[in-house]
Structure 1
């Protein structure tokens, strides 16, 4: 907890994480360097490569399977563009729009999106399904999906897989969800939530098989085999690994992101999960509600009155889809449980 800024009363890691002191120091140093006209693109490139390797270690894939970007929707759009005309995509009802909208935007060429209940996702995959896309942890509810069952069902019929790890990476041991990142064709992750990086740094993992059917439709100079020899056309020679799907980095975000990823890589994710779910379950016990054993616990709040009461008490939470969301992360402790229980118990 001491590594982070004071996060007491902040229960919104599912909206945006908080920085460590190291992250803030790295970003301030970078701004000072920029102010002295000392910024160096090559140094930023070194940070991108360090960040790529750190993220690869966190999610358990080789670094040459990781592409870097700035938004999950843009990465998902690369997958959507690679589907054949008339393809069927299966998604879960109410999943986050960044892994739904890019497929809906392909309707002009006959791509069909079939939305099914979350608890029926795996059994809704059929031989007609070309791809299934889902979030390992649902944004609106914090529900941990049985991703292993989804992957197995997709493999059984030859369907491709896309998993969003934005609400999972940095907090959820993937064994809890029954799968490994290497099991899916593509994963996408924005690092500004549970990984506590500045907004503007995102990652995709691309399997060797997926690299053969994806098209690098966003390719620019940063996707080149040699970045600094790829600044001008018309000749194009892309990287032969997942870097061919890189986009030019938002430089100022990377010093803070690398500091954040270094910190996450030093932690035990199982301990983090036990800490977060333990606090959430303690709150459920205090409120007399059912334990959800999730890092994000939710309560009905159709009018927003519960969220408003917490806000008035100086507690930061969030509301989605008619529910109050309370996210517990490294900086929270039992005092946060007591504070929320006192407000909601009124």
Structure 2
């Protein structure tokens, strides 16, 4: 498939200047907005068909499989990352040990904590030391490849290598990465991703991937009619008709959200991911220079998200007063740079903070 150039992908967004919050909520492309309006019109005029929605969902699954570099048979669809992580948590053996990152997003941690009644134990380690804490007692290491609170990028290669050496599974959350950081889901045993941030889909569109050999180790505890091998012919009891591939973990999709997701996921599956990464991390590096923050020398660890201490919220208020949309997390101000952003967004943000671009 021929990749589209960066400029074409940027032109898909009608607005975005001053919006530095893709790490909180992505913006819709023109095609996503048009698709949602057209679907509402069709629904209002009794012009929709459930089977056609199902076909659309399969097209989105295929697009995500290309983006994540994972065969579609290994991709499950869902609505939230926490619900998909719960499948993994319910599959942990009694007494299993789970290793998590200190301060990681709760959707990746809480489902495991709630298995304590079965003796499942959760350990936490700093992101930069995570690989060193993996040992033979670790059943699974769960980590976000990009941290929500800090924007820090994990040394995923080191984590995967340590997990493999110790016979542990890896569960990687791609939510804060997919869309600006090229991802390869096949390199982890399991991944989850909610698409409403950097992939710019409506909220309620999420994905889980599982390697061959791992699918049968997970329990489809949320199985329903959409988990069958043929959802339109296996949707009645009393027998259980689970799909043989990862779609056994599917949950019934909120169709309207997937209508908006189709053009968004297709766009990110076709754009040159390396160009997106260079664009977004380049803007972030300029922001960091203006704030006097050190930038990682290792290109692999460079992030599109910039955070800094702001315990009293003063900097966040200054950004908002200047008409800039940003966010605050864990006592830190947070900005993220995506396709619609440009150098002027960096200059405006630094000016609002009383700084100058380097």
Please state which band the TM-score falls in when normalised by the shorter chain: over 0.9
> For this pair of structures, how many residues does the alignment match?
341
Using the alignment, how far apart are the partners of 1:162 and 1:140 within structure 2? 19
Q: Cα distance, 1:123 vs. partner? A: 0.8
Using the alignment, how far apart are the partners of 1:284 and 1:96 within structure 2? 23
Q: Cα distance, 1:244 vs. partner? A: 0.6
Instruction: Look up the match of 2:67.
Output: 58
| Aligned: 1:221 with 2:222 | no
Moved over 4 A (4+): none
Instruction: Look up the match of 1:260.
Output: 264
| Aligned: 1:276 with 2:285 | no
Equivalent residue in structure 1 for 2:141, among 129, 132, 138: 132
Using the alignment, how far apart are the partners of 1:165 and 1:148 within structure 2? 15
Q: Cα distance, 1:345 vs. partner? A: 1.4
Using the alignment, how far apart are the partners of 2:242 and 2:201 within structure 1? 28
Q: Cα distance, 1:289 vs. partner? A: 2.9
The answer (yes or no) to whether the contact 1:135–1:163 under 8 Å persists in 2 is: yes
The answer (yes or no) to whether the contact 2:287–2:350 under 8 Å persists in 1 is: yes
Equivalent residue in structure 2 for 1:39, among 43, 48, 51: 48
| Aligned: 1:26 with 2:26 | no
Instruction: Look up the match of 1:17.
Output: 26
Q: Which deviations, in whole Å up to 9, do the C-alpha atoms of 1:243-277 show, x marking residues without a partner?
A: 11101000110111001011112211111111111
Q: Which deviations, in whole Å up to 9, do the C-alpha atoms of 1:11-57 show, x marking residues without a partner?
A: 00000100000000000000001100122111110111000000000
| Aligned: 1:207 with 2:216 | no
The answer (yes or no) to whether the contact 1:23–1:257 under 8 Å persists in 2 is: yes
Using the alignment, how far apart are the partners of 2:265 and 2:281 within structure 1? 22
The answer (yes or no) to whether the contact 1:70–1:249 under 8 Å persists in 2 is: yes
In structure 1, stretches of 5+ residues that fail to align are 175-179
Instruction: Look up the match of 1:244.
Output: 248
Using the alignment, how far apart are the partners of 1:128 and 1:266 within structure 2? 41
Using the alignment, how far apart are the partners of 2:24 and 2:291 within structure 1? 23
Equivalent residue in structure 1 for 2:305, among 289, 296, 317: 296
In structure 2, stretches of 5+ residues that fail to align are 1-9, 297-301
Output the TM-score relative to the length of structure 1.
0.97
The answer (yes or no) to whether the contact 2:64–2:266 under 8 Å persists in 1 is: no
| Aligned: 1:96 with 2:100 | no
The answer (yes or no) to whether the contact 1:129–1:159 under 8 Å persists in 2 is: yes
Q: Which deviations, in whole Å up to 9, do the C-alpha atoms of 1:84-124 show, x marking residues without a partner?
A: 11110000000011110000010111100001111110010
Where 1:208 maps in the other structure, the secondary structure is coil
The answer (yes or no) to whether the contact 1:185–1:209 under 8 Å persists in 2 is: no
Equivalent residue in structure 2 for 1:324, among 316, 325, 333: 333
CA RMSD in angstroms comes to 1.0
Q: Cα distance, 1:188 vs. partner? A: 0.2
The answer (yes or no) to whether the contact 2:227–2:243 under 8 Å persists in 1 is: yes
Using the alignment, how far apart are the partners of 1:16 and 1:269 within structure 2? 20
Q: Cα distance, 1:287 vs. partner? A: 3.1
Equivalent residue in structure 2 for 1:172, among 181, 191, 207: 181
Using the alignment, how far apart are the partners of 2:146 and 2:288 within structure 1? 19
The answer (yes or no) to whether the contact 2:178–2:199 under 8 Å persists in 1 is: yes
Instruction: Look up the match of 1:177.
Output: none
Instruction: Look up the match of 1:310.
Output: 319
The answer (yes or no) to whether the contact 2:151–2:305 under 8 Å persists in 1 is: yes
Where 1:209 maps in the other structure, the secondary structure is coil
The answer (yes or no) to whether the contact 1:5–1:18 under 8 Å persists in 2 is: no
The answer (yes or no) to whether the contact 2:87–2:221 under 8 Å persists in 1 is: yes
